[in-house]
Amino acid sequence: MTRLTRADLEALPSYVPGRNVADLARELGIAEAIKLASNEVPYGPLPGVPEAVAEAVAAAHRYPDMGVLALRDKLADRYGVAADRIVTGCGSVALAEILAKTTCLPGDEILYSWRSFEAYPIVTAGVGAASVRVPNTPGHGHDLRAMADAITERTRLAFVCNPNNPTGTAVRAADIDRFLDAVPSDVLVVLDEAYREFVTDAEVPDALTRYGDRPNVVVLRTLSKAWGLAGLRIGFLVAQPEVATAVRKVLTPFSTSLVAQAAAIAALDAGDEVRRRCALVVAERQRVTEGLRKLSVEVPDSQANFVWLPLGERSAEFGAACEGRGVIVRPFQPDGVRVTIGTPEENDAFLAAAEAALT
């Protein structure tokens, strides 16, 4: 048969979404399953969001504002950056793709730590670039010295995922400072801070305030996690104006929907509630970590809304055992299992499933 699609995509692993709860509940014959597999916050949309969505839908027959002006102004205000440096997109994963498109031609290299966010290999292959993966440290974090050493003249983009998905570890300011000083000025460094709102370690920097002015740094944020808009697909990046302008040239037109723009504006007015929810997540993160350590699992300290169980070859089996008890987690065979922090009741159900699986 004539080849219609690129041969190299055959070897590319597909993005694996967390399993559907309704399917699992049906399969097990239980009323409800629990999903702790996609790093959402479990407390529903923020106050004001459902109303803003309902109102926006009335104009859904019209295209959205392609310039995303009202939302970019709101973000600019909140984060203290000029609006012309902000680009929004259909989730920060789409912006990661666009950044690859903005920087790379086939044969160029994209550098990242591994294991890290599973979309990085996909966006890299999407533009025909080569993935350069630097193994995580024995403590499951980024090895920024080794990453700096792995830069070649073909490197165009480096992702630093902080905190790292799926291990929850975070790199601190001194290490990032050193890394950024070592990176050539023509390599774009993307500091992916999807989980920034859950960080409690004072030495883990807010990249917007500490590195925002560096010409070759882009900060990537999402409204999917702490801000509760995963289903509406909205993220943003902050870059120097020249980089932002180049990004806009290859951005899919109208990719921040009218409803997502309205929802994000409403969500950003609920900052106090976000802080309250993040505090609940952080307290539960501590409790789940301690519960797992009592079961003799080595759990790295997490700065995100999930924990990492480095179970190696046993990861898939552990995931299946949890599913058998109605709790969907996210195994990354053969490295480990990522478990999102849910409500206290959900976390209790997970800890009970983990105990049954591990003892």
Ligand X SMILES: Cc1ncc(COP(=O)(O)O)c(C=O)c1O
| Residues ≥6 apart with Cβ < 8 Å to 87 | 95, 98, 236, 237, 239, 244, 247, 248, 251
Give kind and range of the element (H or E) at residue 219.
strand 217-222
Contacting range for ligand X; rule: CB under 6 A; set: 25-33, 86-94, 168-176, 241-249: 86-94
CB atoms within 10 A of CB 209: 12
Judged by CB under 6 A, the number of residues near ligand X is 13
**Among positions 40, 143, 175, 192, the unique one binding ligand X when judged by CB under 6 A:** 192
> Is position 302 an interface residue for ligand X (rule: CB under 6 A)?
no
> Is position 289 an interface residue for ligand X (rule: CB under 6 A)?
no
Nearest residue to ligand X by CB is 91
Site for ligand X in 21-50 (CB under 6 A): 39
Q: How far is the CB of 296 from ligand X (least distance, A)?
A: 28
Q: How far is the CB of 295 from ligand X (least distance, A)?
A: 25
Report helix, strand or coil for 107.
coil
Contacting range for ligand X; rule: CB under 6 A; set: 176-184, 222-230, 247-255, 326-334: 222-230
> Is position 222 an interface residue for ligand X (rule: CB under 6 A)?
yes
Kindly give the interhelix angle for 258-268 and 69-79, rounded to the nearest 10 degrees. Answer: 30
Site mask for ligand X (CB under 6 A), range 124-163, x = bound:
-------------------------------------x--
Q: What is the DSSP string of 11-69?
A: GSPPP-PPPPHHHHHHHHT-S--EE-SS---SS-SPTTHHHHHHHHHTTTTSPP-TT-H
Give kind and range of the element (H or E) at residue 146.
helix 144-149
> Is position 347 an interface residue for ligand X (rule: CB under 6 A)?
no
Which residue ranges make up the site for ligand X (CB under 6 A)?
39, 91-93, 117, 161, 165, 192, 194, 222, 224, 230, 235
